[in-house]
Amino acid sequence: MRLETQAILLSVRPHGEHGAVVRALTPDDGIQPGFVRGGRSRRLRPVLMPGNLVQTDYRARTEEQLAQLTVELIRSRAPLLGEPLAAAAIEWSTALSAAALPEGQPYPRLYAALSGVLDAVEAAPAARGWAAALARYELLVLSELGFGLDLAECAATGATADLAFVSPKTGRAVSEAAAGAYRDRLLPLPAFLLAGGAADWEDIGAAFRLTGHFLRRDLLIDRQADVLSARERLLDRIGRIMR
């Protein structure tokens, strides 16, 4: 087996005295794991950082064998790690991808979306420039893995306009008119998740509450303690600038 492709590094785990097991998201072959000889060396440590874009060369004798991996840096996002918000965004987006996606399954839309989120963080380390894109990425992860929300029409009336809430039980949209006395039991649906465009802090906070409910309930059930802690650190830092 041989695979040469660009990839976004998602996780790096020490292996042996000097090596590292790396998991990276490729455009057409999904997450691919590989062993990097000397991955803990001074030369490779700056390269093997989650969020970096690298050129990879995977080689294995069989499909079942962990591939030997060599990497060359294309784009480093290490300078962003000095910015607390940007670092937290990179940590969470890569940790979510590494934990949620199965290996070897192609997710070209997620690769493109994650690349876009990381580019947005790089272009504007302040959260206002990328927080909405990250919330949309969480929504796309749910959708690509079969837990997508049904936001096309109101669950009660079939209306496609004025959708303002989501049922926390069914994941279906509910219109403002149909919510009635149940609105306090529903999750607000920010308009930018449907129509795109800019979002204010109130809408961004509502989007993260919405996606967070379904991430916890449906996707990260067995890995909440370690993976979701990265999300909590990010939201805590965002919350400080929203006050």
**How does DSSP assign the chain, residue by residue?**
-EEEEEEEEEEEEEETTTEEEEEEEETTTEEEEEEETTTTSTTTTTTS-TT-EEEEEEE-SSSSSPPEEEEEEEE--GGGGGSHHHHHHHHHHHHHHHHHSPBT---HHHHHHHHHHHHHHHH--SGGGTHHHHHHHHHHHHHHTT---B-SS-TTT---SSEEEE-TTT-BEEEHHHHGGGGGGSEE--THHHH-S---HHHHHHHHHHHHHHIIIIISGGGHHHHHHHHHHHHHHHHHHH-
Query: Considering just the CA atoms, what is the radius of gyration of the chain in Å?
Result: 19
Distance between CA atoms of residues 97 and 133, nearest Å? 15
pLDDT score recorded for residue 1: 84
Distance between CA atoms of residues 139 and 101, nearest Å? 14
pLDDT score recorded for residue 243: 64
pLDDT score recorded for residue 165: 98
User: Are residues 218 and 147 in contact, defined by beta-carbon separation less than 8 angstroms?
Assistant: yes
pLDDT score recorded for residue 202: 93
Class of residue 204 by CB neighbours under 10 A (exposed 0-12, middle 13-18, buried 19+)? buried
Instruction: Walk me through the domains of the chain, giving residue ranges and CATH numbers.
Output: 2-76 (2.40.50.140), 82-151+189-242 (1.20.1440)
CB hemisphere CA count around 16 (13 angstroms): 10
Q: How many CB atoms lie within 10 A of CB 84?
A: 13
Give the pair of three-digit tokens for residue 197: 């465009």
Q: Which of 25, 47, 26 has the alpha carbon at shortest distance from 98?
A: 25
pLDDT in tens, the chain (243 residues): 899 999 999 999 999 888 999 999 999 999 999 999 999 898 999 999 999 999 999 999 987 889 999 999 999 999 999 999 999 999 999 999 999 999 999 999 999 999 999 999 999 877 888 999 999 999 999 999 999 999 999 999 999 999 999 999 999 999 999 999 999 999 999 999 998 887 899 999 999 999 999 999 999 987 666 899 999 999 999 988 776
